[in-house]
Amino acid sequence: MADYIMTNFIADDPVNRPAHYTDGKIEVIDFIEDKGLGFHLGNAVKYIARAGKKDPDKAVEDLEKARWYLDREIARRKAAR
């Protein structure tokens, strides 16, 4: 189904295919879903992959957001022990 959906997107569609998510050979969402990363880890990967691409002045902020999601996932896993 993902292949069908992807073929219907406009190349520069800011909602369905934002440029800062689509550089490279695969989209970040496809990697996240393929690996089954879930919400926290998926968001961390998303912020790492796009760090500075949407706004070069916010690269560090993007990485801090990734760290925030990683910290949440670590805390969740520690609490589940």
- Residue range(s) defining the domain that contains residue 10: 2-79
pLDDT of residue 1: 44
Q: What value does the mean pLDDT take over residues 41-50?
A: 96
Is the CB of residue 12 less than 8 Å from the CB of residue 19? yes
Higher pLDDT, 53 or 4: 53
Q: What are the start-end ranges of the H helices in the chain?
A: 2-7, 28-35, 38-50, 59-79
What does pTM read for this prediction?
Answer: 0.74
**Is pLDDT above 70 for 5?**
no
Domain total for the chain? 1
